[in-house]
Amino acid sequence: MDKKILDKKFVTYINEAKITEAVFRIASSINAEYQDKMPLFIAILNGSFIFAADLYKQINIPSQINFVKLSSYSGTQSSGSVTTSIGLDVAINARDIIIIEDIVDTGKTLSTFIAELKKEEPSSIRICALLHKQEATTHPIPIDYLGFTIPDLFVVGYGLDYNGFGRNLKDIHQLKES
Ligand code: 5GP
């Protein structure tokens, strides 16, 4: 269904049922692979808040979750800079980390963040992302748990925004060019 957000039109791209299916698939892999590891999930705000919440509800092993805020986007284009404004409040040394990200585009945000985390010497770092714009990735990073590979299109909904709006859409929508 078409949605107008501010000055732009968006059309449904991945519906709620498909998203739920992907969340369940990812959670069941993590539950199986991290049985005795007490992983620490680190969700990247703001975009991943709905994905992180839905995913974490399906995690049934002992674990913790924490949140960081990084930013690299304004409007529909990457500004290229990465800043951390809300830091971690738990020690990550010797922990098994699972980063929860909404979307990997150029990969710059995550590769910068991973380099920062590595300084604290966690035991392991794995990446869980709902969406990956493979064609747009200039900083390749291994995505261990992935919902969907998508073309290089701007998307909103399910936590993702357009200038702060549209995060509450249940389906993921893509920008309609005309
Ligand atoms: P990267 O550093 O990988 O280029 O950018 C990652 C961040 O940019 C994501 O966490 C997300 O916040 C934002 N981003 C990238 N592509 C999109 C998009 O299509 N829609 C929205 N709303 N945000 C995006």
11, 174 contact by CB (below 8 A)? yes
110: confidence class by pLDDT, cuts 50, 70, 90:
very high
Taking the centre of ligand 1 as the mean of its atom positions, its distance from the CA of residue 35, in whole angstroms, is: 31
Residues classed as catalytic = 105
Atom of ligand 1 nearest to the CA of 112: 2
Taking the centre of ligand 1 as the mean of its atom positions, its distance from the CA of residue 155, in whole angstroms, is: 9
Taking the centre of ligand 1 as the mean of its atom positions, its distance from the CA of residue 119, in whole angstroms, is: 24
User: pLDDT at residue 169 above 70?
Assistant: yes
- Find the CATH number of the domain harbouring 100: 3.40.50.2020
| pLDDT of the residue at 162 | 97
Q: What is the pLDDT of residues 54-106, one digit of tens each?
A: 999 999 999 999 999 886 544 555 555 565 656 788 999 999 999 999 999 99
Mean pLDDT to the nearest integer, 154-159: 98
How many residues make up the chain in this entry? 178
pTM here? 0.93
Question: What residue's CA is closest to ligand 1, atom 24?
Answer: 103
Atom of ligand 1 nearest to the CA of 105: 3
CA dihedral 51, 2, 135, 50 (to 10 degrees): -10
| pLDDT of the residue at 30 | 98
Q: What range defines the domain where residue 132 resides?
A: 3-30+37-175
Q: Which residues line ligand 1 (CB under 6 A)?
A: 47, 72-73, 78, 101-109, 154-156, 160-161
- How many separate domains does the chain show? 1
CB-CB neighbours of 69 under 10 Å = 13
- Cα 34–142–100 angle (5° rounding)? 55
